[in-house]
């Protein structure tokens, strides 16, 4: 799965490396870089609007993940990474 927003370059593409559905959670995993701040946005429809769901700053390089609640309704997610 490849997610990107705006102009797509090799540096701007976020590659989700894992998706896991548990009983009450949906987990996304992607490679993170120290000092980068990924923001997970969620919305009811693919065209938006989207609202911030979670923001964390990575302290080391390596896998990052977020566990989001499963509500039974369809949700769409974007992940933006700020410098």
Residue indicated by tokens 């989001």: 68
Number of domains composing the chain: 1
Count other C-beta atoms under 10 Å from residue 39's C-beta.
Answer: 15
Give pLDDT tens digits for 24-80: 888 888 788 888 888 888 888 888 898 888 887 888 888 888 888 887 778 888 777
Looking at residue 51, the DSSP 8-state letter turns out to be E
Domain limits for position 33? 2-82
- CATH number of the domain at 45, please: 2.60.40
Give the predicted TM-score (pTM) of the model: 0.66
Distance from C-alpha of 22 to C-alpha of 49, rounded to nearest angstrom: 26
């Amino acid at each position: 799965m490849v997610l990107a927003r705006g102009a797509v370059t090799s540096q701007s593409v976020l590659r989700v490396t894992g998706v896991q559905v548990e009983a009450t959670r949906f987990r996304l995993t992607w490679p993170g870089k120290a000092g980068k701040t990924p923001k997970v946005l969620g919305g009811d429809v693919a065209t938006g609007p989207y609202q911030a769901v979670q923001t964390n700053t990575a302290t080391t390089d390596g896998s990052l993940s977020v566990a989001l609640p499963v509500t039974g309704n369809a949700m769409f997610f974007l992940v933006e990474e700020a410098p």
